[in-house]
Structure 1
Amino acid sequence: MSSSRSTRGPLGRTSAPHKERKEFDVLLRELAEIIPYAEKGIIFATESAVDLEQAEEQEEVIRLDKVVRECVDIERSLNFQKEALEKIKTKVEAGQEVDLVETFKSLYDSALEEYESATEDEKYFENNSYKDFRQKIWEVNHPDEAMPPLNGNEDDEIVMGKQKESLYCPITTLLLEEPVTSKVCKHTFSKDAILQLIRRNTNVVPCPMTGCDKQIMEHDLQPNKRIERKVAQYRAESDDPMHDVEYTSIID
């Protein structure tokens, strides 16, 4: 008896042979290895911006800003490819006959088209890596001032000024370690804690934050370097690790 019950149709169509499942796993693994390079590009540009001499280097800041935006675009494009492959893999494993090339192209093109039609706010100002880049530039030139909202909306600034965010992970209740923030609900967790929770629950878990009904998957998580700096600053300034002050104002 054959070990595979799948059937093959025309080129590019499949209904779940073992070979294709392995190929999906390889592609997803390769994408997972490539995507962090876009983040590294953003981090490099951010650290380079910190070393610049204020107004004298304005042209270089503009250039780096363009580099960061390009890295954000690349990262999103790679994630769209990864998400398309994951959706196709799910269909294949369910025994559905899928035209691999056309389905991938359709899913990817649709996601990319939606992204390209998004506003500047949606593409960059809500991206944690880009916000961290702009925050660091602001801190170099205005060390004692809160950064205004990137979109220039004064109402947003008023609201943000009243909000507080914890430097403690809601899962471990300890200070955040390698903080990551969910794109779907903006809550922040220690990286290892939330990843363990997600992987123990079939790759999706309700947000651990009390009162939040969003579902979180691994690809929804983004490193939050701004909060990581806040935690490092708090550790450095606090002689007592159990210090009562566990909140910091959101300023971005």
Structure 2
Amino acid sequence: MSFSAVQAALSGLRSCQEDIGTSMDMVIDVAMDLVESNETEHSSSLGTLQAKILEYAELDREINCFSNIVEQFNSEVSQQSPEALFSLSDRVKEQFDAKMASLSDAELHNHQKVVAFKEGVGSALQPENGEAEDNQDEDIALTQRYVNFTCPLTQGDMENPMKNKVCNHYYDEGAILAMIKARHKQHKKFRCPVVGCENINVTQADLVPDLLLKRRIQKRNASQV
């Protein structure tokens, strides 16, 4: 075993996480297509899709937990003699098992993409639940809710809109994450860029993808081609 081998293994795990994220996005897209198809019997299929996305969330959590533990121990061992590497595997396994035992399945429902799945499907189902009397009322309600498709940071149309659960404002994913990262590097809080908003500490944990808004933007763009 060597430090380079450990780093290569971690890189492989991170690649797996990217694949898991892509798979979760595919599950979400299928769920949204199913809801928008207006099929009367889709509750069973939606339940299956939710179970699948929770499975992916669990895998993502396990990889994240394992990688963090390995990186922590790897940093400690790198300051010691090479012989210390031989005990790394047992130490990682022990702490990983302890950490996973302390986690609950209920926490998986807080995974960002699981939250996006539930909110996206829930929002798309609202007309079926009688919250909009007809398509015209729905369009009016959505127009009032979203105002426009413009990101307050880029002043351009959003591609991947993110909703702030604290103040209910929207930003494009790339722009908001870049700004949060930049401010954190300066050890400063990031204030919501929407004029008049009193939210002075926007964090990545506050953000969730808005799938319904994203699909409306995509449909609007497609109709303009």
Q: TM-score range by the shorter chain?
A: 0.5 to 0.7
Amino acid of the residue matched to residue 190 of structure 2?
Answer: M
Q: Which residue of 2 aligns with 1:29?
A: 11
What is the rounded CA distance, in whole Å, between the counterparts of 1:27 and 1:142 in structure 2? 45
Deviation at 1:135, TM superposition (A): 1.9
What is the rounded CA distance, in whole Å, between the counterparts of 2:176 and 2:97 in structure 1? 34
What is the rounded CA distance, in whole Å, between the counterparts of 2:215 and 2:80 in structure 1? 49
Residue among 8, 15, 24 paired with 1:42: 24
Q: Does the CA-based 8 Å contact 1:180-1:222 persist in structure 2? A: no
Residue 209 in 1 paired to residue 190 in 2?
yes
Deviation at 1:73, TM superposition (A): 0.6
Q: Which residue of 2 aligns with 1:108?
A: 96
What is the rounded CA distance, in whole Å, between the counterparts of 1:65 and 1:25 in structure 2? 33
Q: Deviation per CA, 1:193-216: give whole Å up to 9, x if none.
A: 756985x99x977464145498xx
Higher helix share: 2
Deviation at 1:229, TM superposition (A): 5.8
Bigger mean CA offset, 85-94 vs 49-58? 49-58
* Structure 1 unaligned residues grouped into runs of 5+: 1-18, 147-165, 215-219, 238-252
Q: Does the CA-based 8 Å contact 1:168-1:176 persist in structure 2? A: no
The 3 A distance-change label for structure 1 pair 177 and 61 is closer
The 3 A distance-change label for structure 1 pair 178 and 106 is farther
Q: Which residue of 2 aligns with 1:81?
A: 66
Compute the TM-score of the two structures, normalised by the length of structure 1: 0.55
What is the rounded CA distance, in whole Å, between the counterparts of 2:201 and 2:90 in structure 1? 37
Amino acid of the residue matched to residue 100 of structure 1?
Answer: L
Question: In structure 2, the residue corresponding to 1:56 is in which secondary structure?
Answer: coil
Deviation at 1:83, TM superposition (A): 0.8
Q: Does the CA-based 8 Å contact 1:50-1:140 persist in structure 2? A: yes
Amino acid of the residue matched to residue 209 of structure 1?
Answer: F
Deviation at 1:79, TM superposition (A): 0.8
Residue 57 in 1 paired to residue 42 in 2?
yes
* Structure 2 unaligned residues grouped into runs of 5+: 133-149, 192-199, 221-225
Deviation at 1:230, TM superposition (A): 4.1
Q: Percent identity, aligned pairs only?
A: 14
What is the rounded CA distance, in whole Å, between the counterparts of 1:176 and 1:51 in structure 2? 21
The 3 A distance-change label for structure 1 pair 59 and 229 is closer
Q: Does the CA-based 8 Å contact 1:54-1:141 persist in structure 2? A: no
The 3 A distance-change label for structure 1 pair 193 and 141 is closer
What is the rounded CA distance, in whole Å, between the counterparts of 2:79 and 2:125 in structure 1? 55
Compute the TM-score of the two structures, normalised by the length of structure 2: 0.61
Amino acid of the residue matched to residue 33 of structure 1?
Answer: S
